[in-house]
Amino acid sequence: MCPPTITLAMSCHLFNVPTIHSCAKVLIGVQKGMDNERQTKIAQQFIQALPHSKALGMALLEIGDGCATITMPYDTRFVGDPETGVIHGGAVSALLDTCAGAAVMSHNSEPTGTATLDFRIDYMRPAKPGDNIVAKAECYHVTRSIAFVRATAMDADTDRPVASATAAFTVQNAKKVQS
């Protein structure tokens, strides 16, 4: 289970930095000597820098130690079925993928970059119209080049998940970037 600590080590796409080398320089500067409050503020700014995250209204709730929690508010613009008011699965997918990538970047192996390799989602039920959706992800194993993540999306009924996902992400480390 993920502890509620908050640290920062975000991917290049979260930093919206054009090259992995530039991203590594930013990450190395950000990771050194920063308190949790400042790390949280910077992490929230970078989540908001992603065009799809910003468009979907995602907000970072917690990040650190290989875990992330991100929320997405209910918005009628993202309804997939106007008759029921249920949010489209694509919005849930984007939330889970973003949360999983953030979990990878906060893993204690301190990767400097990542990208989604494989992503599998099981949709278990529609989210209740009007409810915010919260995704929680845990990066449970990292090899030299691959990170493995589990994620769950929930609405207000936290006993019954909306969707669950498993994913594999590439892992870039500082040694490879600096070469």
For residue range 100-135, what is the model confidence (pLDDT) as tens digits? 998 988 888 878 778 899 999 999 999 999 999 999
What is the predicted pLDDT for the residue at 20? 35
Rounded percentage of the chain residues whose pLDDT exceeds 90: 55
Tell me which residue of 12, 35, 19, 3 sits closest to 105, measured CA to CA: 12
Q: What is the pTM of this model?
A: 0.77
Say how far apart CA 150 and CA 164 lie, in whole Å: 8
Helix axes 89-105, 36-49, angle to 10 degrees: 140
Residue 104's nearest CA partner among 139, 69, 70 is: 139
User: How far is it, in rounded angstroms, from Cα 167 to Cα 118?
Assistant: 5
Tens of pLDDT, residue by residue over 62-104, are 988 889 999 999 999 999 999 999 999 999 999 999 999 989 8
- Write down the pLDDT at residue 25: 35
Sequence-distant (≥ 6) Cβ neighbours of residue 86 within 8 angstroms = 79, 80, 126, 127, 129
User: What value does the mean pLDDT of the chain take?
Assistant: 79
pLDDT score recorded for residue 121 = 98
Coil, helix or strand at residue 119: strand
- Write down how long the chain is: 179
